[in-house]
Amino acid sequence: MPTQVNPQTAEKVITDGLIEVGAEPAEISREATFESLDVDSLDLVEIAQIVEDEFGVELIGDDVQNLKTVGDVIDMVVAKAS
């Protein structure tokens, strides 16, 4: 059963995913851009898979390509889960 989605759980899962793909933990914040974290499109696909596995929320290519910051992803995951 997928984990209940709220901003805090989404932020933790996404932050853990970013660390897994090589982002520096100290640089991760809601305002951090993927560019500043050196996260590329392949990394975002991996994070989207983690989100789907954890929450059952599917982020498709069009969703992901418009996301610029960590906060954007958190907000989208919470919105799609409700």
- 36: CB partners within 8 A, 6+ apart: 27
For the domain covering 7-81, report its CATH number: 1.10.1200.10
Catalytic-residue membership of 40:
yes
Domain coordinates in residue numbering, the chain: 7-81
Q: What is the pLDDT of residues 5-64, one digit of tens each?
A: 999 999 999 999 999 999 999 999 999 999 999 999 899 889 999 999 999 999 887 877
CA dist 59 and 25 (Å) reads 23
The single residue of 40, 43, 72, 75 carrying the catalytic annotation is 40
Residue pair 80/59 in contact by the 8 Å Cβ criterion: yes
Nearest to 28 by CA among 39, 37, 38, 40: 37
pLDDT number for residue 54: 94
CA dist 3 and 60 (Å) reads 20
Residue pair 59/79 in contact by the 8 Å Cβ criterion: no
- Record the pTM: 0.91
